[in-house]
């Protein structure tokens, strides 16, 4: 059985204890470090090279978000990050540092396990030679008909859900690609710094957006409505763009 080495980071003792307890309850997780501040966590992560870090965002001196950005600048393998915080307005920032998931306090063991399983799935795919995202985030492989097709991320305009399939619309190509995978599963494999889910049926490439309105995104002449549950994250992103 695959075991993921984990580090828990939180400046609140009770919150830190809860994450430690949840890790001990989960058969495929192993706690190898526990820190109550970001500075110590940076040192422990460099020394022990965990597979997964459960990282609080609001900490003094070095916040979890700042620590995640620093880790991205380091060479070598990066741990997967699951953020834990009491404030939901950090969600869009978590996307930008490629966090796998985001747990809003107080969270249940069921929510914790769901996030952990997501990390395990990504880890298993990489170990078995089916790493969907390249180290430099330049391409993905998708199964199209009877072969695995390499798709450059820079060529993707938007992705549309068609029940159990997704349709990948490519730049400068009249033909889209149809793959047997759910939109949610594909969303988890795409770098969140480059792609955003804006509707239950659509993911868009951020650098392909040509115009925005209050409730819609335009990619050239294609208009995609922003779904109700995605409007808050979309608004945060737009506000940052317009500053």
Instruction: Say if 4-127 and 139-242 have the same CATH topology.
Output: no
Q: Which fold has domain 139-242?
A: OB fold (Dihydrolipoamide Acetyltransferase, E2P) (2.40.50)
The pLDDT of residue 243 is: 58
**pLDDT string in tens for the chain (243-residue length):** 789 999 999 999 999 999 999 999 999 999 999 999 999 999 999 999 999 999 999 899 999 989 988 887 766 678 999 999 887 654 444 444 567 888 889 999 999 999 998 888 877 765 543 344 443 457 887 888 767 788 889 999 999 998 778 999 998 887 889 988 888 888 877 887 788 999 999 999 999 999 988 789 999 889 999 998 888 888 877 776 665
The pLDDT of residue 98 is: 60
Q: Is-above-0.85 flag for pTM?
A: no
Identify which of 127, 106, 105, 124 has the alpha carbon closest to the alpha carbon of residue 116: 124
Q: What residue ranges do the domains of the chain occupy?
A: 4-127, 139-242
Architecture of domain 4-127: 3-Layer(aba) Sandwich (3.40)
SS (H, E, C) the chain: CCCEEEEEECCCHHHHHHHHHHHHHCCCEEEEEEECCHHHHHHHHHHHCCCEEEEECCCCCCCHHHHHHHHHCCCCCCCEEEEEECCHHHHHHHHHCCCCEEEECCCCHHHHHHHHHHHHHHHHHHHCCCCCCCCCCCEEEEEECCEEEEEEHHHEEEEEEECCEEEEEECCCCCCEEECCCHHHHHHHCCCCCEEEEECCEEEEHHHCCEECCCEEEECCEEEECCHHHHHHHHHHHHHHHC
The pLDDT of residue 128 is: 42
The pLDDT of residue 151 is: 87
The pLDDT of residue 208 is: 92
């Amino acid at each position: 059985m695959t075991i993921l080495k984990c580090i828990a980071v939180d400046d609140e003792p009770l919150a830190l204890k809860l994450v430690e307890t949840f890790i001990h309850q989960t058969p495929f997780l192993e706690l190898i470090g526990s820190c109550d501040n970001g500075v110590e966590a940076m040192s422990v992560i460099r020394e022990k090279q965990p597979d997964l870090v459960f990282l609080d965002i609001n900490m003094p001196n070095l916040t979890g978000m700042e620590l995640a950005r620093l880790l991205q600048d380091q060479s070598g393998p990066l741990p997967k990050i699951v953020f834990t915080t009491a404030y939901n307005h950090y969600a869009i920032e978590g996307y930008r540092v490629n966090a796998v998931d985001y747990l809003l306090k107080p969270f249940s063991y069921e929510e914790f396990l769901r996030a952990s399983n997501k990390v395990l799935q990504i880890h298993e795919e990489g170990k078995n030679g089916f790493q969907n995202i390249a180290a430099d985030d330049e391409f993905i492989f998708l199964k199209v008909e009877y072969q695995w097709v390499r798709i450059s991320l820079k060529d993707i305009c938007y992705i549309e859900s068609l029940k159990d399939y997704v349709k990948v619309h490519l730049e400068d190509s009249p033909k889209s690609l149809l793959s047997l995978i759910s939109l949610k599963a594909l969303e988890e494999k795409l770098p969140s710094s480059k792609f955003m889910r804006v509707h239950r049926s659509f993911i868009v490439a951020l650098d392909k957006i040509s115009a925005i309105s209050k409730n819609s995104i335009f990619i050239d002449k294609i208009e995609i409505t922003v779904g109700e549950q995605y409007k808050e994250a979309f608004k945060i992103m737009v506000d940052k763009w317009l500053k």
